Amino acid sequence: MAVASDAATALRPLDPAYVLKEAGAVAAIVFALSISLVGFKTEDVPGGITVVTRFGAVAIVTVIAFFGRLGLILLREGRPFPVLVTALPFALALFALLLWDQLFAPEIGLRRFLPFGDIIVNWLLAIFAAILAGRAAWTFRHEPREQSAEEREKKMDRVVAAPVQRAARLVGPLLLGFAIILPFLPIADRRLLDIGILVMTYIMLGWGLNVVVGLAGLLDLGYVAFYAVGAYSYALLATHFDLGFWICLPFAGIMAAFAGILLGFPVLRLRGDYLAIVTLGFGEMVRIILLNWYDFTNGPDGISGIPRPSFFGLPFVRNPPEGTETFHSFFGLSYSPIDRIIFLYYVILLLALATNAFTLRLRKLPVSRAWEALREDETACRSLGINPRNTKLTAFAIGAMFGGFGGSFFATRQGFISPESFTFIESAIILAIVVLGGMGSQIGVVFAAILLIGLPEFFRELQQFRMLAFGATMVTIMIWRPRGLLAHREPTIHLSDEKTPTGHN
């Protein structure tokens, strides 16, 4: 590997046939995929839909893939120069065009020089070109050195994950402080608070699922089921029995935990892909039951009029029924609709913090180590006297419980729920947050949630490409850092004489 640094830096000759073959193969794959995905598009027209073809875009995509791969090959073979001189001007030109387009918009018709109709795709292309150019420039200055995946993993662990985890002790409180004062900052408008609430909901769900996936290593693709159970538990209890949010919350958690155990039993013997498939099915089953059990769940019509949480019994309403004290009248404030949003914001912050505290505490308990051990070697665990069934069920139940809490919150925030809200994509998003963040990492979940939920909400334009970006990010991370962004495990136990500085021997 590192031997190549002396006189033998002479470049390997390139075999044009091989290079063309590789780049061509990539282009062919891209062509085959994009001909159906990009090439045909349905469009609504009055009186139905028609199919529009976009073969131009397919051609462009294929050509770009060809040249992109060519660039990567050249970089790999230690020839950054041609890459730099093509990728850099290309990226610059594209950025210039895009900026021009943003600033002066359509008046000056430069848009037709952009390769794609969608602005955001052009941005992506420009970014990729810039990355390629950057890598070329980097190879210029540094000896190209091949790293094995393992070395890179180790290095990332040392250079990024471990310090970040350590910094998390600092960043965590900082983020928390920011989260606490956010509603009172001048930038906090309704939209930002809504995004904040959404992000924190997913952080909470991520932490909950982290117990199952990150600690116990059970790949759960049906987490949304517990979210749904929690939401419906609260909605039904609240609308039928007129119970408040805080009273229903534990019930919703228990119901969801129960659902977790119910799912856990049949899947005890499964692992890996098989487990993932069954849990996926479970998630769909719950949704379909909600959809079809009309008498109980109101089916596709959903449940509306779910009560909002109150502040120690003080509701947030403008015109209360006669004789009812409200939040604003009690505190002598004038009514403002944002009060309720701020309150919801703090409720979810509180729930998320409770989840964090609980799961952190959990990690210090024997059961958490048993989960990790179970993930590493189930047979060895058995022979150490661990009951795998109970241990796994505990993980499912605890993870599900937090899903249930999150679901209750969702229900009370929306005021209306229907099976629509609990589709597979939710499970996928939560799982992506956990996996991207680095399984088992608390702060990683926070970053991943901000990245995956917060940013797309900001860049609404990306919306239709969200799943694409999602997939791309996942694949990148799988290649670059298969164990997740911040996967780094701190030992949980030391000798007792090491905790106290005096007892050193």
Burial (CB count <10 Å: 0-12, 13-18, 19+), residue 473: middle
Q: How far apart are CA 210 and CA 273, in angstroms?
A: 18
Choice between 300 and 503, CB closer to other proteins: 503
Q: What is the smallest separation between the CB atom of 388 and other proteins, expressed in angstroms?
A: 8
> Per residue in 225-241, is it b (16+ CB within 10 Å) or e — as a string?
bbbbbbbbbbbbbbbee
Q: Strands 48-53, 303-304: parallel, antiparallel or unpaired by DSSP?
A: unpaired
Q: What are 133's two structure tokens?
A: 């150019």
Choice between 12 and 499, CB closer to other proteins: 499
Choice between 51 and 493, CB closer to other proteins: 493
Q: How far apart are CA 454 and CA 443, in angstroms?
A: 15
Q: What is the smallest separation between the CB atom of 377 and other proteins, expressed in angstroms?
A: 5
Choice between 419 and 438, CB closer to other proteins: 438
Q: Where along the sequence are the contacts to other proteins (CB under 8 A)?
A: 366, 369-370, 372-373, 376-377, 379-388, 489, 491-496
| Residue listed under structure tokens 């995509």 | 61
Q: Strands 48-53, 40-45: parallel, antiparallel or unpaired by DSSP?
A: antiparallel
Q: What is the smallest separation between the CB atom of 361 and other proteins, expressed in angstroms?
A: 16
Choice between 115 and 388, CB closer to other proteins: 388
How many Cα atoms sit within 13 Å of 13 on the Cβ side? 3
User: Is the distance from CB of 338 to CB of 182 less than 8 angstroms?
Assistant: no
- 317 alpha carbon, distance to own chain's centre: 34
Choice between 370 and 429, CB closer to other proteins: 370
Q: What is the smallest separation between the CB atom of 82 and other proteins, expressed in angstroms?
A: 43
Q: What is the smallest separation between the CB atom of 396 and other proteins, expressed in angstroms?
A: 18
Choice between 380 and 467, CB closer to other proteins: 380
Choice between 151 and 420, CB closer to other proteins: 151
Choice between 110 and 362, CB closer to other proteins: 362
Choice between 26 and 373, CB closer to other proteins: 373
437 to 173, 352, 464, 482: CA distances (angstroms): 18, 16, 23, 11
User: Is the distance from CB of 164 to CB of 486 less than 8 angstroms?
Assistant: yes
User: Is the distance from CB of 429 to CB of 457 less than 8 angstroms?
Assistant: no
Q: How far apart are CA 485 and CA 469, in angstroms?
A: 17
Q: How far apart are CA 297 and CA 288, in angstroms?
A: 11
> Per residue in 43-80, is it b (16+ CB within 10 Å) or e — as a string?
eeeeeeeeeeebeebbebbbebbbbbbbbbbbbeeebb
Give the number of other CB atoms < 10 A from CB of residue 93.
Answer: 13
Q: How far apart are CA 227 and CA 424, in angstroms?
A: 11
Query: Quick one: which of 485, 467, 479 has its CA closest to 149?
Result: 479
Query: Quick one: which of 394, 407, 340, 349 has its CA closest to 367?
Result: 394
User: Is the distance from CB of 226 to CB of 403 less than 8 angstroms?
Assistant: yes
Q: What is the smallest separation between the CB atom of 370 and other proteins, expressed in angstroms?
A: 6
Q: How far apart are CA 71 and CA 87, in angstroms?
A: 8
Q: How far apart are CA 372 and CA 125, in angstroms?
A: 41
| Residue listed under structure tokens 């699922």 | 209
Q: What is the smallest separation between the CB atom of 97 and other proteins, expressed in angstroms?
A: 49
Choice between 334 and 502, CB closer to other proteins: 502
Q: What is the smallest separation between the CB atom of 494 and other proteins, expressed in angstroms?
A: 7
